[in-house]
């Protein structure tokens, strides 16, 4: 029996409220203003987001939150994708807030989560290093135990919102074994109480979200600041990647649907040869293909969000399927949107290129479409072998059974 993932009344209200809020508080003129700022952060907008309950949406009420669920969070992400919202919402909520809720001590939860929910704290994750890959063997920055505390040395790249972060979740290596996933520890650093860090803004594709190089030089941190268990941080990282990947799928779908709306409006208004160009059958067919692709993307995204909400053991497969399809489809939507707008779509004055950059950046984050198809192929391979069958391979982005 097919499962329907329609929105209930409360979720519809959340969606409508979010769209109206972002239209009023963060129009495209404000997005462009924040792009010109080195931090891309508006403290006043951040406070307003806290006041409407977004920053603590999935936190229990005891930590100042609203007690809503992960599916509700993806509804917000859709609307943020439509608005190309700048700022540290993803880095604060997905990369740090939810992991603290899931793995933190009571002291850590009581200290940080209410601050996030009230808008007092911005958080970020310092994970990627020189190769830019999200895998355990790339974690080489060291945290050495000296004199009763740990000392962190090394460089992290592509750290979002580092300049404005009050708390930074640092992924460091505390032990080296044959298994690269062992010996990784996560540390919660209060950036206002330490010395020895230096942040440098990086030039990246999506200028609505600022990323930095962060250098750590003999940064001291207590063992009480470890998130989870010593040497056992990689499973937490995998869950962070799973949650955030699903959230970015929602953001891509929201951005793609907004681009399609803008494109259809343009096709109705642009006159060529005395008629609207939307009357040309070739353009109608192209627009119809985008509608179909976005419908499939939405279905996969909603399924992925529901599996995470329910703690489904198939969540990783659902997320990989959603990311692989949403990434390809939404990149096609923004590319076709620009092409059907003609030259105006790629000019700095038009908003279309902002959506293009956001979608392409989201697709690459936590593995692009090809990467996630590889994960699906590996899962199918496992199932096929258990059933006594052969193996699978990837050819030109397609999964092919080898026998």
Q: Tell whether the model's pLDDT for residue 39 goes beyond 50.
A: yes
Tens digits of per-residue pLDDT, 251-284?
999 999 999 999 999 999 998 899 999 999 999 9
What's the pLDDT at 390? 59
Please, where in the chain does CATH 2.40.110.10 lie?
Answer: 125-232
Furthest CA-CA distance within the chain: 79
> Residue 334 gets which letter from DSSP?
H
What's the pLDDT at 1? 37
pTM: 0.93
Please, where in the chain does CATH 1.20.140.10 lie?
Answer: 235-367
Tens digits of per-residue pLDDT, 284-324?
999 999 999 999 999 999 999 999 999 999 999 999 999 99
Tokens of 322: 């959603």
Query: What's the whole-number mean pLDDT along residues 24-31?
Result: 97
Q: Tell whether the model's pLDDT for residue 394 goes beyond 70.
A: no
CATH class of residue range 125-232 = mainly beta
Query: DSSP letter string over 172-236?
Result: EES---SSTTSSEEEEEEETTS---EEEEE---S-TTS-EEEEEEEEEEE-GGGEESSTTB-HHH
Which residues lie below 8 Å from residue 260, measured CB to CB, with a gap of 6+?
A: 287, 290, 291, 294, 333, 337
Comparing 168 with 147, the larger pLDDT belongs to 168
What's the pLDDT at 403? 56
Percent of the chain with pLDDT over 70: 95
d(CA 235, CA 240): 9
Tens digits of per-residue pLDDT, 69-114?
999 999 999 999 999 999 999 999 999 999 999 999 999 999 999 9
Into which CATH architecture does domain 9-122 fall? Orthogonal Bundle (1.10)
Domain 235-367 annotated CATH 3.40.710.10: no
Question: What is each CA distance from 230 to 150, 160, 224, in whole angstroms?
Answer: 11, 25, 10
Q: Tell whether the model's pLDDT for residue 401 goes beyond 70.
A: no
Please, where in the chain does CATH 1.10.540.10 lie?
Answer: 9-122
């Amino acid at each position: 029996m097919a499962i329907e993932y329609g929105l209930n009344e409360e979720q519809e209200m959340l969606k409508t409220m979010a769209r109206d809020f972002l239209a009023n508080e963060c129009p495209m003129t404000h997005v462009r203003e924040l792009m010109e700022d080195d931090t891309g952060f508006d403290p006043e907008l951040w406070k307003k987001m806290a006041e409407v309950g977004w920053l603590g949406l999935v936190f229990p009420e005891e930590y100042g939150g609203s007690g809503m669920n992960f599916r509700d969070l993806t509804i917000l992400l859709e609307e943020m994708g439509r608005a190309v919202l700048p700022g540290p919402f993803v880095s604060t909520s997905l990369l740090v807030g939810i992991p603290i809720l899931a793995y933190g001590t009571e002291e850590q939860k009581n200290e940080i989560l209410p601050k996030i929910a009230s808008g007092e704290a911005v958080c970020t994750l310092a994970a990627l290093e020189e190769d830019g890959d999200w895998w355990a063997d790339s974690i080489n920055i060291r945290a050495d135990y000296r004199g009763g505390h740990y000392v962190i040395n090394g460089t992290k790249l592509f750290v979002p919102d580092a300049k404005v972060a009050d708390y930074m979740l640092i992924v460091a290596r505390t032990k080296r074994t044959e298994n690269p996933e062992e010996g990784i520890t996560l540390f919660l650093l209060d950036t206002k109480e330490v010395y020895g860090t230096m942040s440098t803004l990086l030039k990246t594709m999506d200028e609505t979200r600022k990323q930095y190089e962060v250098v750590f030089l003999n940064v001291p941190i207590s063992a009480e600041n470890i998130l989870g268990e010593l040497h056992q941080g990689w499973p937490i990282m995998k869950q962070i990647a799973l949650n955030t990947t699903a959230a970015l799928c929602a953001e891509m779908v929201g951005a793609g649907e907004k681009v399609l709306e803008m494109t259809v409006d343009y096709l109705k208004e642009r006159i060529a040869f005395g008629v609207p160009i939307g009357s040309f059958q070739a353009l109608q067919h192209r627009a119809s293909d985008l509608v179909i692709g976005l419908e499939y993307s939405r279905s996969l995204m909603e399924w992925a969000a529901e599996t995470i909400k329910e703690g489904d053991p198939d969540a990783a497969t659902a997320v990989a399927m959603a990311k692989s399809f949403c990434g390809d489809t939404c990149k096609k939507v923004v590319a076709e949107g620009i092409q059907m707008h003609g030259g105006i779509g790629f000019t700095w004055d038009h908003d279309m290129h902002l959506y293009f950059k956001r979608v392409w950046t989201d697709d690459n984050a936590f593995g692009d479409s090809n990467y996630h198809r590889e994960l699906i192929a590996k899962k199918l391979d496992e199932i096929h072998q258990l059933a006594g069958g052969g193996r699978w391979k990837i050819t030109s982005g397609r999964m092919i059974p080898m026998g």
